[in-house]
Amino acid sequence: MQKLDGVEDLRVRRTRKLLQQALIEVTVEKGFAALTVRDITRRAMVNRSTFYRHYLDKYDLLEQHINEIYEVLEEEVGIIGEGRHEGLIELLKQIQQFPDFYRVVLSAKADAFLSQRFRQQTQQRVLAYFQQTFPEAVSDPDRPPLDLKFTTVASAGCSALAWWLEQEQPSTPEQFAHWLQQLFYDIAVSTLKPKT
């Protein structure tokens, strides 16, 4: 399990990849909660005991898979493009490269706590974006508390993403980014700034 200069045994890499692919496939078909380790290994054509050599359980598999996808994401997109509009588009393009994966972790197919886990990570990114854009947020007792606003906006963001991925004929990243910004700019200006 330890990497000697980053290169692992070919068989290990093959097995892990097969299992991760199978995970996504089976999750798309019957949902994460309903799926068993057997389902995954049957699909991956890997022995069940081999699964346990690499992962603790299906949650661990998903966890590790998420992390690996994230590493790619961060390498390629960075901290969501430092709040630039182009950064958002890059992010969407990146997401479009693993549509099944994101559909799985975002949609109702995923187990609640895992989708929650993903949402929290994404929230940090999304909020970082807004915090960069509107750093001057102040707290006003008459206005909604900041964490209510954050939670609300982040959840809205994830739902929007999920909506985008579920479309049969998805709009382009550019188009969707445009809509997103309209939605959230409005929310942002109306909630982050003190009432005028």
Partner DNA sequence: ACGTAAGCGAGACGGTACGTCGCGTCTTACC
Partner DNA sequence: GGTAAGACGCGACGTACCGTCTCGCTTACGT
Interface with a second copy includes 159 (CB under 8 A)?
yes
Sequence-ordered list of residues with C-beta below 8 angstroms from that of 191, at least 6 positions apart, any chain: 143, 144, 149, 153
Q: Which does 143 bind (CB under 5 to 8 A by kind): a second copy, DNA, none?
A: a second copy
Q: How far apart are CA 36 and CA 40, in angstroms?
A: 7
Q: Given the rule CB under 7 A, which of 44-52, 67-75, 109-117, 150-158 is the region that contacts DNA? A: 44-52
> Helix 146-166 vs helix 85-96: angle between axes, to the nearest 10 degrees?
50
First vs last C-alpha separation in the chain: 58
Query: Among all chains, which residue has been given the structure tokens 């049969």?
Result: 168
In the complex, the smallest distance separating the C-beta of residue 190 from a second copy, rounded to whole angstroms, is: 3
Interface with a second copy includes 78 (CB under 8 A)?
no
Single residue of 21, 28, 31, 50 touching DNA by CB under 7 A: 50
Query: Among all chains, which residue has been given the structure tokens 């909020």?
Result: 127
Give the footprint of a second copy on this chain (CB under 8 A): 31-33, 108-113, 115-116, 143-145, 147-149, 151-156, 158-160, 162-164, 179-180, 182-183, 186-187, 189-191, 195
